[in-house]
Amino acid sequence: MFAIPLSDALPAELRPLEPWHAEEFLAHMDRARANLDRFISFASLSTDPDSARATLQRYADMAAAGTGRILGIWLDGTLVGGVMFFNLDARHLHCEIGVWAEPAGEGLGLISAGVRQLLEHVVVERGMQRAEWFSSTANARSRAVAQRVGMRLDGVLRSYYLHNGVRHDKEVWSILADEWLASDQRPVR
C-alpha cells in the first residue's frame, strides 16, 4: 500500500480506497451524504455494508482493467474525502476526474492537493492528453477546485441531468497534458 502526504501542516494522506475499507467508507458516506446528495448520487450508492463494498469493488475492477481508480483522503486517520478517475479512454487518451468530501474535509486544501496528485498520475504515468471534470453549475466548491488546479471551462451543458427532482446545468472543465506539464500546480515529487 502507498500513502502520499497531502499537507505539510496537517496529518493528511492520499491512499488507495479498497473493498476491505467498506465499513469505514460507509461511515464516511453517512457523514458526507447530505453534502453530496445536493449534486450527485455517489453517496446514495453506498447505504449499507454490502452496497459500500460493491461501490468500492466497481473501482477495484476498474483499477484491474486500467480504466479507473478511487483514492481516499485520510485526515488524522479518518477518511474525509477522496478523488477518482474513471472513463479512462486509452484510445483517445482522456479520462474524467471526480472528487467528494464530507464537511470535515472541506476548506483545508486537501481535495485540491489530491487532484494535483491524480492529474500528475493520469498525465505523466498514464499518458492522458486530456483530463475532464464535470460539475453542476450550482456547485461552487467543485468549480473552485477545477479553477485552482488550472482547468479551463469548456462550456455548459444546459439542463443536462435530473437529480433529486431538479434539472441541473453541467459545467465541463478540462486540462490538457501540455497545460498540466507547464503548470506551477504540479506536486513536488
Structural domain includes residue 186? no
pLDDT at 180: 98
Structural domain includes residue 188? no
- Spatial distance between the Cα atoms of 76 and 105, rounded to a whole number of angstroms: 11
C-alpha grid cell, residue 162: 435530473
pLDDT at 45: 87
- Number of domains within the chain: 1
Domain that holds residue 130: 4-181
Structural domain includes residue 189? no
pLDDT at 41: 79
Structural domain includes residue 171? yes
pTM of the model: 0.94
Structural domain includes residue 32? yes
Low-confidence ranges of the chain (pLDDT < 70): 1, 189
Amino acid 102 reads: E
> What's the CATH code of the domain at 26?
3.40.630.30
pLDDT at 1: 63
pLDDT at 36: 83
Structural domain includes residue 84? yes
pLDDT at 164: 84
User: 106 in helix, strand or coil?
Assistant: coil
- Spatial distance between the Cα atoms of 2 and 145, rounded to a whole number of angstroms: 24
| pLDDT digit string, tens, across residues 132-154 | 999 999 999 999 999 999 999 99
Q: Of all residues in the chain, what percent are helix, strand and coil, respectively (each to 5)?
A: 40, 35, 30
User: 69 in helix, strand or coil?
Assistant: strand
Structural domain includes residue 187? no
